[in-house]
Structure 1
Amino acid sequence: MQDILDAIMGAEGSTDPARELARIAGLPVPRTYRGMVVRAEDTAMFDGVAPRDRDPRRSLHLAEVPTPELGPGEALVAVMASAINYNTVWTSIFEPLSTFKFLQRYGRISELARRHDLPYHVVGSDAAGVVLRVGAGVTRWQAGDEVVAHCLSVELEDAAGHDDTMLDPQQRIWGFETNFGGLAELAVVKANQLMPKPRHLSWEEAASPGLVNSTAYRQLVSHHGANMKQGDVVLIWGASGGLGSYATQMALNGGAIPVCVVSSPDKAELCRRMGAELVIDRAAEGFRFWSDEETQNPDEWRRFGERIRELTGGEDPDIVFEHPGRETFGASVYVAKRGGTIVTCASTSGYLHQYDNRYLWMHLKRIIGSHFANYREAWEANRLVALGRVHPTVSRTYPLEQTGQAAYEVHRNAHQGKVGVRCLAPADGLGVRDLQLRARHESAINRFRGR
């Protein structure tokens, strides 16, 4: 593993980094590697503990694991950096169910897939690194290529997947519903998960957008989602967070009008630094959409809607970018404009949503479910990053050994933007190849740092 890292580090400051990285093709593949895992034997460790009180630091372990054999159409990547997503938090707290059920189900579909059904799960759904090897049939990528990975793993053997790969019945989220994820020194991906690493970004910056940026693109921009257009008023929950920060950038980049909902003055300031002008600090303004655990408060929905119209000059949201779920969904349905769209991709505050259906059917609103992105959508989202139109939102990073602490902070919502994890990378700031493009966007790239 040290020889691999030395070859990658040889590209730092080189006038021909591709030549330095090509050396990797001649290096042996390690028989084992270090990965962050949860263990099947621990799945009951949090029984009786409320999900919000479960601690990822207790369940995530750094372990030496065997390097799997590559199958056809796959690639082995030396992971320089990864990032924390909510699915890693869910995996670590075994909520809403153990991910070992996913691995067992996947393992039943083929002999090749059986590799994933193990008593440990190497987690992580983001990665930036260098291709080490490719399997049979892979022609686009080769050893030494600098890449990022999106997290759609799909078999593409069913006709349903060839119109939109997210509809394939064997569609899975890599590192969550599959094994050999990105929070590790090595990762196994399908070759159609790979995309070029943005050359002006460091490893940890390049790793951080993958899941959330692609998810936001499909949710807001794609015709499979809200199909956002110029001038749309877009209400964005958690607008400075890992997902919302990319939605905010895409709304601004696409000529829409974001209304950013946050929970602190610091988060409000981040939204303004991204260019958003309309911001609601829901904590400072005391919005409480539930009177108690069982009862929502429609008076608060109305007050919230009035606040939005006050900011927009009387307009309701054309699109509501939903992901908190239970806590906010009733308000989201209420405040969307007549004929508007509520597009949802997650439920970080709870999966059982409640809303007043009169405001949906009588006002001809739509609810759209959106889940990650297909390869085309992920590629387009990554292209925006590579062009410097959308920027990473890394606030801080941790070494691989401290992944549990990083996941704990995300679980507690004690973070801004994305929390990065250095896997093989020995320090932040490595891997930048296009210094001129970086110099034009340095302040935007770093606006979340240290927060």
Structure 2
Amino acid sequence: MQDILDVIMEAENAADPAARLRSLADVPVPASYQGMVVREDETTMFDGLATRDKDPRKALHLQEVPVPELGPGEALIAVMASAVNYNTVWTSIFEPLSTFGFLKRYGRLSALTKRHDLPYHVVGSDAAGVVLRTGAGVTKWQAGDQVVAHCLNVELEDAAGHDDTMLDPQQRIWGFETNFGGLAQLAIVKANQLMPKPAHLTWEEAASPGLVNSTAYRQLVSHHGANMKQGDVVLIWGASGGLGSYATQMALNGGAIPVCVVSSPEKAEICRRMGADLVIDRAAEGYRFWSDEHTQDPAEWKRFGARIRELTGGEDPDIVFEHPGRETFGASVYVAKKGGTIVTCASTSGYEHQYDNRYLWMSLKRIIGSHFANYREAWEANRLIDLGRVHPTLSKVFPLEQTGQAAYEVHRNTHQGKVGVLCLAPAEGLGVRDQEKRARHLPAINRFRGV
């Protein structure tokens, strides 16, 4: 592993970094690597505890694991940096169910996928790094390519997947529903997960947008999602968070009008730094959409809707960008304009949604489910990062061995934007290949740092 890292570090100061990295093709691949895992024999460790009391630090372990066999159409990458997403939190607290069920089902698909059915699960759905090896049939990528990985793992052997790969019956989220994820020194990906690393970003910056940026793109911009247009009023829950921060940037970049919902003055200030003018601090304004555990308060929906119209000059949201789920969904359906769209990609506050259907059917509103992104959508989202139209929202970085703490902070919502993890990278700030381009965007790149 040290030989691999030595070549990558030598490229930092080389006149032609790409040429130096090509020599990785001659460096032997080690027999094992360090990965952050959850273990099958610990899946009941949190039984009886409330979700909030389940501690990812107790379930996530840094463990030496064998390098798996590289299959056709796959690539082995040296992971320089990764990031924590909510799916890593869910994996680490074994909610809503253990991910070992996913791995067992995938393992039954073929002799090759049987590799994934192990008593440990190497987690992580983001990565930035360098290609080490490619499997049979891979023509677009080669050893030494600097890449980021998106997390759509798809077999594409069924006709259903060839209009939209997210509809493929064998579609999975890499590092969540598959093994060998990105929170590790090495990772196995399909070649159609790879995209060029933006040259003006560090490893940790480049790793942080992948899952959430692509998810926000499909959910908000794509015709598979809300199909946002110029002038749309877009209500964005958690607008300073890992997902909402990209939705906010895309709304602004696409000529829409974001109404950013946050939960503190500090988060409100982050939204203003991104260029958003209309911000609701739901904690300061005291919104309580549930009067008790079982009963929603429609009066609060109405008060919230009135506040939105006050900010927008009388307009209701064309689009509601939903992901909190149970806590907010009733309000989201209510405040969307007549003919408007509620698009949801997650349920971080609970999966069982309740809403008053009269406000949906009588006002001809639509609810759209959105899940990650297909390769084209992920590529377009990464292109926006590369063009400097959308920027990473990285706020904090941990070493690989402290991934549990990083996941704990995401679980307890004490973070802003994205939380990064250094894997093989020995320090922050490495991997930049275009300093001139970086200098043009540096204030935006650093907007979330240290917040």
- The bucket for the TM-score relative to the shorter chain is over 0.9
Q: What is the CA–CA distance in structure 2 between the aligned matches of 1:403 and 1:227, rounded to whole Å?
A: 35
Instruction: Tell me which residue corresponds to 1:235.
Output: 235
Question: Are residue 52 (structure 1) and residue 52 (structure 2) matched?
Answer: yes
Instruction: Tell me which residue corresponds to 1:213.
Output: 213
- What's the RMSD between the two structures over aligned residues? 0.3
Q: What is the CA–CA distance in structure 1 between the aligned matches of 2:394 and 2:377, rounded to whole Å?
A: 22
Instruction: Tell me which residue corresponds to 1:169.
Output: 169
Q: Which amino acid aligns with 2:121?
A: H
TM-score under structure 2 length normalisation: 1.00
Q: Which amino acid aligns with 1:168?
A: D
Q: What is the CA–CA distance in structure 1 between the aligned matches of 2:246 and 2:111, rounded to whole Å?
A: 38
Instruction: Tell me which residue corresponds to 1:410.
Output: 410
Percent identity, please. Answer: 85
Query: Which structure 2 residues correspond to residues 379-390 of structure 1 after superposition, within 5 A?
Result: 379-390=379-390
Instruction: Tell me which residue corresponds to 2:261.
Output: 261
Q: Which amino acid aligns with 1:258?
A: P
Q: What is the CA–CA distance in structure 1 between the aligned matches of 2:101 and 2:146, rounded to whole Å?
A: 33
Cα distance, 1:124 vs structure 2: 0.1
Q: What is the CA–CA distance in structure 2 between the aligned matches of 1:249 and 1:8, rounded to whole Å?
A: 32
Q: What is the CA–CA distance in structure 2 between the aligned matches of 1:398 and 1:20, rounded to whole Å?
A: 28
Query: Which structure 2 residues correspond to residues 347-386 of structure 1 after superposition, within 5 A?
Result: 347-386=347-386
Q: What is the CA–CA distance in structure 2 between the aligned matches of 1:388 and 1:177, rounded to whole Å?
A: 31
Q: What is the CA–CA distance in structure 2 between the aligned matches of 1:298 and 1:42, rounded to whole Å?
A: 42
Following TM superposition, the consecutive aligned residue runs of length 4 or more in structure 1 with deviations greater than 4 angstroms are none
Q: 3-state DSSP class of the match of 1:70?
A: coil
Q: 3-state DSSP class of the match of 2:245?
A: helix
Q: Which amino acid aligns with 2:76?
A: L
Deviation string for 1:158-193 (max 9, x for gaps)?
000000000000000000000000000000000000
Q: What is the CA–CA distance in structure 2 between the aligned matches of 1:134 and 1:405, rounded to whole Å?
A: 33
Q: Which amino acid aligns with 2:323?
A: H
For these two proteins, the number of residue pairs brought into alignment is: 451
Q: 3-state DSSP class of the match of 2:229?
A: coil
Structure 2: which 5+ residue stretches go unaligned?
A: none
Q: Which amino acid aligns with 1:82?
A: S
Cα distance, 1:13 vs structure 2: 2.6
Q: What is the CA–CA distance in structure 1 between the aligned matches of 2:264 and 2:322, rounded to whole Å?
A: 19
Instruction: Tell me which residue corresponds to 2:274.
Output: 274
Q: Which amino acid aligns with 1:346?
A: A
Structure 1: which 5+ residue stretches go unaligned?
A: none
Instruction: Tell me which residue corresponds to 1:23.
Output: 23
Q: What is the CA–CA distance in structure 2 between the aligned matches of 1:338 and 1:53, rounded to whole Å?
A: 40
Instruction: Tell me which residue corresponds to 1:252.
Output: 252
Deviation string for 1:94-116 (max 9, x for gaps)?
00000000000000010000000
Instruction: Tell me which residue corresponds to 1:65.
Output: 65
TM-score under structure 1 length normalisation: 1.00
Q: 3-state DSSP class of the match of 2:102?
A: helix
Cα distance, 1:117 vs structure 2: 0.2
Q: Which amino acid aligns with 1:391?
A: H
Q: 3-state DSSP class of the match of 1:258?
A: strand
Q: Which amino acid aligns with 2:167?
A: L
Cα distance, 1:20 vs structure 2: 1.1
Instruction: Tell me which residue corresponds to 1:188.
Output: 188
Instruction: Tell me which residue corresponds to 1:37.
Output: 37
Q: 3-state DSSP class of the match of 2:406?
A: helix
Q: What is the CA–CA distance in structure 1 between the aligned matches of 2:266 and 2:51, rounded to whole Å?
A: 27
Q: Which amino acid aligns with 1:299?
A: A
Q: Which amino acid aligns with 2:431?
A: G
Deviation string for 1:290-317 (max 9, x for gaps)?
0010000000000000000000000000
Deviation string for 1:330-367 (max 9, x for gaps)?
00000000000000000000000000000000000000
Cα distance, 1:433 vs structure 2: 0.3
